[in-house]
Amino acid sequence: MTRRALALLAAALAGSLAAAVPVLGHENRPGFLEMEEKSPGVYAFLWKAPSDGETEIHIAPVLPPGCALATPDGQQLTTSAILVRGTLHCEGGLAGRTIAIEGLESTATDVLVRVRHSDGRLESHLVGPASPSVTLGGSTTVSQRAASYLKLGVEHILMGIDHLLFVLGLLLIVSDRWMLVKTITSFTIAHSLTLAVATLGFASAPLPPLNAAIALSILFLGPEIVRVWRGETSFTIRHPWVVAFAFGLLHGFGFASGMTALGLPKAEIPLALLLFNVGVEIGQVFFVAVILLLERSFRTLEIRWPRWVEALPGYAVGSLGAYWTIQRTVMLFSEAR
């Protein structure tokens, strides 16, 4: 297939995506529901639904029968979430009652449900689209909570197609195993830094421009991949780890959105941050391993790909990066107006 045909294919890819404007955004921040028992049957209620991303998700808790919620302040809108605070009255307490999250089944996000009982028991559940309700009443150990944060981290990267695409782009650029290790390590260090900085509240990045910048980082890799095929060189091709580090700082802020949306209590943040980051790394290593093992498998099975098929991933990285950059920039300016 000629280069012109490939360009047409890439254009078709981008065009098809353009027909589905908001749906491909990376917006899988979890929701957060906290109920702290102040006196028997009376709970301080906090609901946080992620907001101000590229796509609004409409989720809300459905309270058990016999419970009444008073929200004197109504609903508040922060830069990244819709907040509802109030007082929940449940005759006989929440034990044995089921709380569901309406709308969750039609999303790809999770909600962390935490209940602090008056006797000191802490209950924490991660509910997702597959099982959007939970029956309360038990207690959750530290290891169970740690597993929840780990799962959040793994899910965040594996469902964050833009992060994966960036890593794929890096894999297409690096020339040898040692460079691959250096590049992936520097990406990991960089995003871990900003993930920690943002989660601990030392810095933050507004989501719309951040998402546009992340899209730009993917677009940036497209031409570099083409240069590699042509046998040309560039700073990125010679030192991909530097680029991985620089853009990794941006992606770390993106990962942090999955944590900061929770608004966890300070005492819980070190555990959550550590396990969430470990989860992200596990997901990233898994993705890289699958790609490398696939590459090895194709060689073992002696598959000879046509030239145009080999070129397609690079064109796809560039095209999707371009599409997302344009889409997110347009959204950024339309929101600013």
Q: Which residues contribute to the site for another protein (CB under 8 A)? A: 13, 16-17, 19-20, 23-28, 53, 55, 57, 106-109, 129-130, 159-161, 168, 171-177, 180, 228, 290-303, 305, 309-310, 312-314, 316, 320
Q: Which two tokens stand for residue 103?
A: 């709308």
**C-beta of 38 vs 296, nearer to another protein:** 296
Pairwise CA distance, residues 51 & 80, whole Å: 5
**C-beta of 67 vs 212, nearer to another protein:** 212
Least distance from C-beta 136 to another protein, angstroms?
A: 26
**C-beta of 70 vs 301, nearer to another protein:** 301
70, 87 Cβ separation under 8 angstroms: yes
Least distance from C-beta 187 to another protein, angstroms?
A: 16
**C-beta of 37 vs 162, nearer to another protein:** 162
Least distance from C-beta 69 to another protein, angstroms?
A: 25
Least distance from C-beta 311 to another protein, angstroms?
A: 8
Least distance from C-beta 47 to another protein, angstroms?
A: 18
CA triple 117-123-125, angle to 5 deg: 145
Which segments of 52-188 are extended strands (E)? 60-62, 67-70, 75-77, 81-90, 98-102, 111-116, 122-127, 133-135
Pairwise CA distance, residues 23 & 245, whole Å: 28
**86 φ, ψ (degrees, to nearest 5):** -175, -165
Least distance from C-beta 203 to another protein, angstroms?
A: 25
Residue 88, strand partner residues: 43, 69
**C-beta of 9 vs 200, nearer to another protein:** 9
Least distance from C-beta 174 to another protein, angstroms?
A: 6
**C-beta of 39 vs 300, nearer to another protein:** 300
Count of CB atoms within 10 A of residue 306's CB? 9
Q: Which two tokens stand for residue 319?
A: 């095209």
> DSSP letters of 284-311?
HHHHHHHHHHHHHHHHHTT----HHHHH
**C-beta of 213 vs 317, nearer to another protein:** 317
Pairwise CA distance, residues 110 & 107, whole Å: 8
